[in-house]
Structures are given as structure tokens and as C-alpha cells.
């Protein structure tokens, strides 16, 4: 149980009592992450930790008090159980629901959300029509922007439970109160289930929700939109498409009015619109759009875009024949056809079939991946405890077999680069060794094998090679879904 608290002294004893009675048959621990600035909460929590061995309290110093969500992240990092449940410390989240959340996890869900917004649930304890309205609107906004948040009816709930192995390695950087939304967006492949609950009234103490939290929430949405490349796909697609269409339409209109031949104006407009789209796709937030999670997905994206442009042009040219007054109708119908085609290709089943047909997802063959990365050698170490594997001799110097062992122990992909010497003026044509190490984690959260790539060259591996190795292995199911999904959320 991870419980963030800030000035909740009046709730501690009752919380302890209710958790005890609700979790009778369960082996559980309570990790309280406390940011209190009153004089009474910390003594109350310490007393709970002394009398109850299940309780642990993390008291955060002033500098680390960066909000509710970061407290939850700290609690999750410290938790040791098979499942982690997050709940408020003011008893608005009834502990009696926790066994149902745990049962939902046992039944196969990765994430069980206690939801106020479903049959059997309610927000009786949320006082005031205005707060209800704000809460509802924020939920709709989050679900409108992120389809990932539609997997539960209550993506802004602060009461949920997840399998710890399923979220291990996720790079979370939430702001404000909404940690669940962060999980949903950063890990779109988690299996989510809802459990209804009645949001109770506060047992004691005061609310910390405020207008400032509302502003932080908007900032959090923006941060997820910008820094999670694969998040909010449909909205990003609409933005890029509309930008391209705007460039196309204004050029077509302007050039035709300046007396340029419509076909030439169309070509110019299309070229400029394609350039604008391409430029947008280079930006980090839009990068994933054309890739669909495939490391090599852009090839298909460009092919589809070209076919759609040709279709659009053909329709335009045919409709142009009857006379000039059909010009803009022709352009509109042409663009609509092109868009329809793009949308069809964008459907995951169609996309996957095409990708397979065009061999964009070949079987992962470690030699092929080594060639892609420009590595001299690429190999699997299946018994990663065995550091005597002779192939590890390939990584010489500072990059040692211990580093491979470390990356595997921490289950973290790593990039190692060494330099020949500490001399400030390096000779540029000297070869250095570098290595990429990517542990492959199976369903149970264990490392089943470690992929090692070695390069001895004047230009060592860079972080983009590491990213590419991770992407390729993930798209071939050789990596835990979480490591594959975790993005750098700045
Ligand atoms: N560690 C930590 N906990 C916090 C912080 N802000 C709020 N909390 C805790 O997070 C939980 C939820 O905060 P509440 O103030 O109850 O917010 P709320 O439930 O949205 O609002 P109410 O319905 O008015 O209670 C409570 O247990 C708070 O003590 C914080 O900055 N740090
Ligand atoms: Mg509350």
C-alpha cells in the first residue's frame, strides 16, 4: 500500500485500523510518503511505524516535496510487494475495496482502477457542484486528448492497484496529482480493469486540492503530449494533417489567383505541404506518428503517403477537366480521397498486414541487427550469470564483462564507450571500443537473455544506436513491454 500524506494526522489511526481489518488474509506492507509541514502528522506516523511492523514511513525533506504524484512514485520505488496499491491518506478511498483490486490483478489485469464513474461507483464525497463539474471536465479532457486514458472510466482516480513487475522500469515524471494518467499514457499496453467504488467524504483534515492543482494538471497534460512520443496519436495525426492541408490550400488558392496553371499550383502546393509534414515529423512529439512502433515503419509511411498523393492528384485532374470552376471542389475531393487512404493504412490491422507483406518486420536475427547498428559482433548471452562466455573477450579494455552483468542485474539497457587514454588531445583516427547491452526480460520479470553488440571503430556507438537496438528487440517481442514503452518523459 503506497499512501502519500500531507498533514493527515487525524486520519492515521483510523487508516491503520481499516487497513488491518480489510487486509486480514493478505501479506501487505504500508509505505507512507509524507510531506507534512505541521507538527503533529510526523509524530503520529512514526508512532504507527513503531507499533505496527507493517508500516514504513518515508519522510521527505523540504527539497524533495515536489507534489503528490512524485510522492507516489517514491512510494512505488520503495515498495516490495507483488502488487502495489496507491490510495489517499484521508479515507476517501475505502480500504475495504483493496481486496477487490487485488483479486482483479490476480485475475490477470496489470492495472486495476477503483472508479467513481461507473455503475456501482459514485463521487458522493466530492463536495460542491463546481468541484464535481471540474473533476468531470478534467476527465473528459484527458480522455479526449489521450485515447490511452479511455481504457478506464476514471483515469484521474488516485486509487488503483498494479502488478509491480508490469510497471517496473517505467520512466515516470508526473506533475501535480495525476499519477494514474501518467501510467496509462506511458504504458499503453497494460491490461486495465475497473472496480467501482464510492468516493467517501474526508475522514478528518483539510483538502489540498486547489486551483493551482488545476493549472498543474493542464501542464501535466501538455508534458505528456510533448514528451511521450507515442501518446495522443489521433490528435497528433489530426494536427499534422491539418497543418499540411492548410499549407496546400493556401498555396493552391494563391497561385491559381496569380494566374499559375492549376496542375502546377497543385504540384507546388503538394510539395510544400509534404515538406511541412516531413518537418513536423522530425519533431520529437510527432516522431512516432509514421512509425507505428516499428523501428523501420517510416518506409511504409512514405510509401503510403506517396500513393495517397498520387490518388489525390488523379482525382483532382479528372475533376478539373470540366472547367475551372470545379477547381477547388476537385482539390477538396482529391485531398479527401488521399486522407481516406491514409486513414485506412493507419488502422493497426491494415498497417500490420502491409508491414508484414513489405517485410518491414523481418524475424529478429541478431546478426542482421548487428549489421544495422554497425557492430562487428552481436550475440545473445542466455546464461547471463556465466561471465566466462569467451565471446565476452571481444569487449576489451574498460568495457568489461562486469558491465554486462550489471546491466542484466539492473534489467536496464546500457551503452558503454571507452577512450584509449585520458589525454585531452585525442588522436582522431584511433579506434575505441563501445558496447550496447540490452537485457531481454520475460513475462515473469526475469532476464532471459542479454543481447550484446560490440563495435571497435573510430566512431563509437551513440545513444541513438541504443534506442534503435531497444526498438528492434521490442518490436520482436524480445524485451519486456515496459522497457519498450518507457520513453524519456522530461
Ligand atoms: N506526500 C504528499 N501527499 C500529498 C500532497 N498533497 C496531497 N497529498 C495527499 O494526497 C492525498 C489526496 O489529497 P487531498 O487533499 O485529499 O486531495 P483530493 O482527495 O483530491 O481532495 P479532497 O476531495 O478535497 O480531499 C491525501 O492523502 C493528501 O494528504 C503532497 O504534496 N505530498
Ligand atoms: Mg482527499
Q: What is the CATH number of the domain that holds 430?
A: 3.30.450
Between the alpha carbon of residue 93 and those of residues 30, 53, 67, 85, 195, the distances in Å are 15, 23, 19, 11, 12
Tell me whether residue 448 is in a domain.
yes
Supply the angle between the helices 179-186 and 68-78 in degrees, to the nearest 10: 60
Q: How many whole angstroms separate alpha carbon 166 and alpha carbon 169?
A: 9
Q: Is residue 305 located within the same domain as residue 375?
A: no
Q: Is residue 469 located within the same domain as residue 405?
A: yes
- What pLDDT, in 10s, does the model give residues 49-98? 999 999 999 999 999 998 898 999 999 999 999 999 999 999 999 999 99
Portion of the chain with pLDDT greater than 90, in percent: 44
Torsion, Cα of 436, 489, 83, 105 (10° steps): -100
Q: Which atom of ligand 1 is nearest to the CA of 6?
A: 29
Q: DSSP characters for 260-324?
A: --HHHHHHHHHHHHHHHHHHHHHSGGGTTTTTTT-TTTHHHHHHHHHHHHHHHHHHHHHHHTT-G
CB 298 within 8 A of CB 361: no
Q: How many whole angstroms separate alpha carbon 374 and alpha carbon 119?
A: 56
Torsion, Cα of 239, 241, 246, 247 (10° steps): 110
Question: Is 90's C-beta closer than 6 angstroms to any atom of ligand 1?
Answer: yes
CB 287 within 8 A of CB 229: yes
Q: Is residue 124 located within the same domain as residue 26?
A: yes
- What confidence score (pLDDT) does residue 133 get? 87
- Residue 377: enclosing H or E segment and its boundaries? strand 377-381
Ligand 2 centroid to Cα of residue 102, in Å, is 22
- What pLDDT, in 10s, does the model give residues 299-326? 778 888 888 888 888 888 887 766 666 7
Q: Is residue 6 located within the same domain as residue 146?
A: yes
- What confidence score (pLDDT) does residue 152 get? 96
- Site of grid cell 493504412: 345
Tell me whether residue 118 is in a domain.
yes
Q: Which atom of ligand 1 is nearest to the CA of 199?
A: 23
Question: Is 200's C-beta closer than 6 angstroms to any atom of ligand 1?
Answer: no
The dihedral through the CA atoms of 75, 81, 86, 90 has a sign that is negative
Question: Is 89's C-beta closer than 6 angstroms to any atom of ligand 1?
Answer: yes
Q: Is residue 246 located within the same domain as residue 223?
A: no
Q: Which atom of ligand 1 is nearest to the CA of 90?
A: 27
Q: What's the farthest any 2 CA atoms get from each other in the chain?
A: 88
Q: How many whole angstroms separate alpha carbon 61 and alpha carbon 140?
A: 35
Tell me whether residue 57 is in a domain.
yes
Tell me whether residue 50 is in a domain.
yes
Which of 13-17, 32-36, 125-129, 130-134 is predicted least confidently? Answer: 125-129
The closest of 290, 285, 284, 329 to 308, measured between CA atoms, is 290
- What confidence score (pLDDT) does residue 384 get? 56
Question: Is 205's C-beta closer than 6 angstroms to any atom of ligand 1?
Answer: no
Between the alpha carbon of residue 1 and those of residues 110, 211, 272, 473, the distances in Å are 16, 28, 55, 34
Q: Is residue 258 located within the same domain as residue 173?
A: no
169 HSE (CA, 13 A, CB side): 24
Choosing from 357, 386, 420, the residue where a domain stops is 357
Ligand 1 centroid to Cα of residue 88, in Å, is 6
The closest of 352, 357, 382, 379 to 368, measured between CA atoms, is 379
pLDDT level of residue 221 (50, 70, 90 thresholds): very high
Q: Is residue 25 located within the same domain as residue 133?
A: yes
Choosing from 357, 378, 399, the residue where a domain stops is 357
Choosing from 312, 330, 357, the residue where a domain stops is 357
- Mean pLDDT, to the nearest integer, of 233-247? 93
Ligand 2 centroid to Cα of residue 206, in Å, is 8
- What confidence score (pLDDT) does residue 474 get? 78
What is the three-state SS of 389-456? Answer: CHHHHHCCCCCCHHHHHHHHHCCCCEEEECCCCCCCCCCCCCCEEEEEEEEEECCCCCEEEEEEEEEE
Q: Domain containing 104 — which CATH number? A: 3.90.550.10
Write out the three cell numbers for 267: 504540384
Domain housing 321: 233-357
Q: Is residue 220 located within the same domain as residue 244?
A: no
Is residue 210 scored above 80 in pLDDT? no
Question: Is 414's C-beta closer than 6 angstroms to any atom of ligand 1?
Answer: no
Torsion, Cα of 210, 211, 215, 221 (10° steps): 60
Residue from 57, 65, 90 to probe ligand 1 pocket by mutation (most atoms less than 8 Å from CB): 90
- Residue 132: enclosing H or E segment and its boundaries? helix 129-145
Q: Is residue 268 located within the same domain as residue 396?
A: no
- Mean pLDDT, to the nearest integer, of 216-241? 91
Residue from 1, 2, 3, 6 to probe ligand 1 pocket by mutation (most atoms less than 8 Å from CB): 6
The closest of 236, 268, 234 to 249, measured between CA atoms, is 268
CB 13 within 8 A of CB 46: no
Q: Is residue 35 located within the same domain as residue 116?
A: yes
CB atoms within 10 A of CB 349: 7
Tell me whether residue 490 is in a domain.
no
Q: Is residue 393 located within the same domain as residue 450?
A: yes
Between the alpha carbon of residue 348 and those of residues 66, 232, 343, 386, 463, the distances in Å are 39, 15, 10, 41, 29
Question: Is 213's C-beta closer than 6 angstroms to any atom of ligand 1?
Answer: no
- Site of grid cell 485531398: 335
Question: Is 174's C-beta closer than 6 angstroms to any atom of ligand 1?
Answer: no
CB 380 within 8 A of CB 454: no
Tell me whether residue 108 is in a domain.
yes
Between the alpha carbon of residue 331 and those of residues 71, 256, 322, 337, the distances in Å are 54, 12, 14, 10
Question: Is 67's C-beta closer than 6 angstroms to any atom of ligand 1?
Answer: yes
Polymer length in residues for the chain: 490
pLDDT level of residue 396 (50, 70, 90 thresholds): low
Ligand nearest to the CA of 3: 1
- What confidence score (pLDDT) does residue 478 get? 58
Ligand 1 centroid to Cα of residue 48, in Å, is 19
Report the nearest-CA residue for atom 32 of ligand 1.
68
Tell me whether residue 29 is in a domain.
yes
Q: Is residue 134 located within the same domain as residue 265?
A: no
> Which residues partner with 57 through β-bridges?
32
Tell me whether residue 152 is in a domain.
yes
Between the alpha carbon of residue 197 and those of residues 87, 97, 114, the distances in Å are 12, 7, 6
Portion of the chain with pLDDT greater than 70, in percent: 89
The closest of 92, 66, 72 to 11, measured between CA atoms, is 92
| Count of domains observed in the chain | 3
Amino acid at each position: 500500500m503506497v499512501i502519500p500524506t500531507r498533514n493527515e494526522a487525524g486520519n492515521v489511526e483510523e487508516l491503520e485500523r481499516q487497513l488491518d481489518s480489510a487486509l486480514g488474509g493478505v501479506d501487505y506492507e504500508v509505505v507512507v510518503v509524507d510531506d507534512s509541514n505541521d507538527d503533529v502528522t510526523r509524530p503520529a506516523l512514526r508512532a504507527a511505524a513503531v507499533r505496527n511492523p507493517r508500516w514504513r514511513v518515508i519522510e521527505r525533506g523540504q527539497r524533495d516535496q515536489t507534489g503528490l504524484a512524485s510522492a507516489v512514485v517514491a512510494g512505488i520505488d520503495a515498495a516490495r510487494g507483488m502488487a502495489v496499491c496507491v490510495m489517499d491518506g484521508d479515507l476517501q478511498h475505502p480500504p475495504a475495496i483493496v481486496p477487490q483490486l487485488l483479486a482483479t490483478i490476480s485475475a490477470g489485469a496489470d492495472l486495476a482502477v477503483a472508479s467513481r464513474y461507473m455503475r456501482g461507483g459514485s463521487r458522493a464525497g466530492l463536495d460542491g457542484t463546481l468541484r464535481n463539474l471540474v473533476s468531470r471536465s478534467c476527465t473528459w479532457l484527458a480522455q479526449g486528448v489521450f485515447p490511452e486514458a479511455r481504457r478506464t472510466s476514471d483515469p484521474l482516480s488516485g486509487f488503483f492497484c498494479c502488478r509491480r513487475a508490469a510497471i517496473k522500469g517505467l520512466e515516470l515524471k508526473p506533475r501535480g496529482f495525476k499519477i494514474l494518467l501518467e501510467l496509462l499514457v506511458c504504458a499503453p499496453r497494460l491490461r486495465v480493469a475497473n472496480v467501482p467504488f464510492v468516493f467517501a467524504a474526508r475522514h478528518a483534515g483539510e483538502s489540498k486540492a486547489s486551483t493551482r492543482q488545476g493549472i498543474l494538471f493542464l501542464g501535466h497534460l501538455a508534458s505528456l503530449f510533448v514528451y511521450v512520443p507515442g501518446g495522443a496519436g489521433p490528435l497528433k495525426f489530426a494536427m499534422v494533417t491539418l497543418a499540411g492541408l492548410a499549407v496546400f490550400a493556401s498555396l493552391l488558392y494563391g497561385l491559381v489567383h496569380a494566374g499559375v496553371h492549376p496542375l502546377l499550383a497543385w504540384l507546388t502546393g503538394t510539395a510544400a505541404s509534404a515538406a511541412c509534414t516531413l518537418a513536423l515529423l522530425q519533431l520529437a512529439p510527432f516522431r512516432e506518428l509514421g512509425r507505428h512502433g516499428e523501428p523501420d515503419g517510416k518506409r511504409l509511411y512514405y510509401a503510403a503517403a506517396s500513393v495517397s498523393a498520387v490518388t489525390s492528384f488523379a482525382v483532382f485532374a479528372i475533376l478539373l477537366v470540366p472547367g475551372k470552376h470545379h477547381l477547388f471542389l476537385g482539390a477538396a475531393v482529391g485531398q479527401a480521397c488521399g486522407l481516406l487512404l491514409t486513414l485506412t493504412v493507419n488502422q493497426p490491422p491494415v498497417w500490420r498486414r502491409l508491414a508484414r507483406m513489405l517485410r518491414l518486420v523481418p524475424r529478429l536475427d541478431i546478426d542482421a541487427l548487428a549489421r544495422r547498428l554497425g557492430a562487428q559482433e552481436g550475440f545473445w548471452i542466455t546464461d547471463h550469470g556465466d561471465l566466462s562466455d569467451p565471446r565476452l573477450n571481444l569487449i576489451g579494455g574498460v568495457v568489461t564483462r562486469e558491465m554486462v552483468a550489471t546491466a542484466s542485474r539492473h534489467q536496464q539497457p546500457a551503452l558503454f564507450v571507452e577512450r584509449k587514454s585520458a589525454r585531452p588531445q585525442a588522436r582522431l583516427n584511433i579506434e575505441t571500443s563501445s558496447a550496447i547491452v540490452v537485457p531481454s526480460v520475460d513475462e515473469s520479470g526475469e532476464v532471459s537473455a542479454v543481447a550484446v553488440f560490440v563495435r571497435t571503430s573510430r566512431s563509437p556507438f551513440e545513444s541513438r544506436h541504443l534506442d534503435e537496438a531497444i526498438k528492434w528487440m521490442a518490436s520482436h517481442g524480445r524485451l519486456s513491454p515496459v522497457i519498450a514503452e518507457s520513453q524519456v518523459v522530461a
